[in-house]
Amino acid sequence: MRQQRTQRSPVAAPATTTKAPTDLPTSGYALIVDGHAKREFKTQSSAIQAAKGLKTRFPNLQIKVYDAQAKRAEQIEIDLAPA
């Protein structure tokens, strides 16, 4: 006959997950890629330059530049038509 267990095996506690911060900055500009804030910039020109460079390399991404002072995001579009 089979012997019964007298002690239960310990159950592993669920792993704690840490989410990346999704807060938008309170000053400056942020690069938002597919709805996630990725980088912060002090000037609008540097944020737009980075956004256009990223959009040129990956045209399928949805890229926005968020202005913290105005609390608005500007969609970045690139013309991909051959010249």
10 within domain boundaries: no
Task: Please give the model's pTM, rounded to 2 decimal places.
Answer: 0.67
Query: Does residue 38 belong to any structural domain of this protein?
Result: yes
Residue 1 lies in a domain: no
Domain that residue 66 falls in: 29-75
Structural domain includes residue 21:
no
Total domains in the fold of the chain: 1
Task: Tell whether 80 is covered by a domain.
Answer: no
Domain-located, residue 83? no
Angle at 17 between CA 30 and CA 58, to 5 degrees: 40
- Taking only the tens place, the pLDDT of each residue in 58-69 is 999 999 999 999
CA atoms within 13 A on the CB side of 83: 1
Q: What is the DSSP string of 10-66?
A: PPPPPPP--PPP-PPPSSSEEEEETTEEEEEESSHHHHHHHHHHHHHH-TTS-EEEE
Q: Determine, yes or no, domain membership for 68.
A: yes
One-letter amino acid identity for 12?
A
Q: What digits encode the pLDDT tens for the residues 10-60? A: 666 666 665 555 578 889 999 999 999 999 999 999 999 999 999 999 999
User: Looking at the domain assignment, is residue 62 inside a domain?
Assistant: yes
Contact 5, 24 (CB under 8 A): no
